[in-house]
Amino acid sequence: MTDIQDMGRYKAEGYSFYTEKDAALAENERRKIEYLEARLDYNQPESILRIYKKAIDDRVFKSPVGVLFLKNLQMYLLEQPGINPEDVDVIPLYVSFEGEFREAPKPARSRVKPAEPKPKKKSVALPVSIILNIGLLAAVVAMFAVALNADQPNILNYENAIQNKYATWEQELTERERAVREKELELQINSAEE
């Protein structure tokens, strides 16, 4: 588990790390190692070789904790009679060892100067945007007004137009039926007289 010391150092898995992020990475890699160890079958060196190569190719392990695990797998694979030593890749290290050690953390704020505030320019974009938005809103309202007052059926008034059309047809049909009934009555009267 990661804990903080007085000197600003962070510990994980027997290593002292310069940053908390590095210690957390080591702790995370420890959990990955526990997961893999529970599932590795050391009776099948070919599968361990595939896992070893995949871990190196995907850069799964970067901290000393993970590199030590890879080293143990590498040594195991090199001892296996069925594994060709040339198939066992070397372990890449993704850090530089220049021989210089950091003495104490230096806060970034002391090295970085705050940016000077830029003078505010009067922006023309905001008033233009507001005017355009008002114009577009007026255009949309005008289109709705025209569509509602149009004589031709459209998406806004098609239901009323269809209902009016059917109502007119129904009224015409009723008038025709009445006229037919009147004619029938006249014809029945005329046929009764004959």
pLDDT in tens, 40-68: 888 888 988 898 898 888 888 888 888 89
Give whichever of 14-18, 85-89, 152-156 has the largest mean pLDDT: 85-89
What is the rounded CA–CA span in Å between residue 190 and residue 111? 118
User: Six-digit token pair at 69?
Assistant: 């695990």
- The whole-number pLDDT of residue 154 equals 75
Q: Are residues 99 and 58 in the same domain?
A: yes
The span from the CA of 162 to the CA of 170, in Å, is 12
Instruction: Assess whether 7 and 99 both reside in one domain.
Output: yes
- Helical (H) or strand (E) element with 24: helix 20-39
Confidence class of residue 141 from pLDDT cuts 50, 70 and 90?
Answer: very high
| In a domain? residue 111 | no
Closest C-alpha among 51, 86, 94, 58 to residue 72: 51
- 154 shares a domain with 93: no
* Residue 170, pLDDT above cutoff 90: yes
Confidence at residue 36, expressed as pLDDT on a 0 to 100 scale: 87
More confident residue, 68 or 160: 68
Comparing CA positions, the residue from 10, 3, 77, 6 lying closest to residue 40 is 77
For residue 87, being part of any structural domain is answered with yes
Cα–Cα distance measured from residue 142 to residue 109, given in angstroms and rounded to the nearest whole number: 57
Q: Which of 57-61, 120-124, 168-172, 177-181 has the lowest mean pLDDT?
A: 120-124
In a domain, 146, yes or no: yes
Highest mean pLDDT among 20-34, 79-93, 125-139: 125-139
Q: Are 65 and 29 in contact (CB under 8 A)?
A: yes
The reply to whether 76 falls in a domain is yes
Q: How many domains does the chain have?
A: 2
Inside any domain, residue 113: no
Lowest pLDDT segment from 8-12, 65-69, 168-172: 8-12
Range of the structural domain that residue 51 is part of = 3-106
* Together in a domain, 93 and 10: yes
pLDDT digits (tens, 9 = 90+) for 85-132: 888 888 888 776 665 555 555 555 566 677 777 777 777 888 899 999
Do 168 and 101 fall into the same domain? Answer: no
In a domain, 152, yes or no: yes
- Is pLDDT above 60 for 6? no
Looking at the structure, do residues 99 and 27 belong to the same domain, yes or no?
yes
Among all chains, which residue has been given the structure tokens 């004589």?
A: 151
Q: Does 8 share its domain with 81?
A: yes
Using the predicted structure, report yes or no on whether residue 158 has a pLDDT greater than 90.
Answer: no
The count of residues in the chain is: 194
Residue 155 lies in a domain: yes
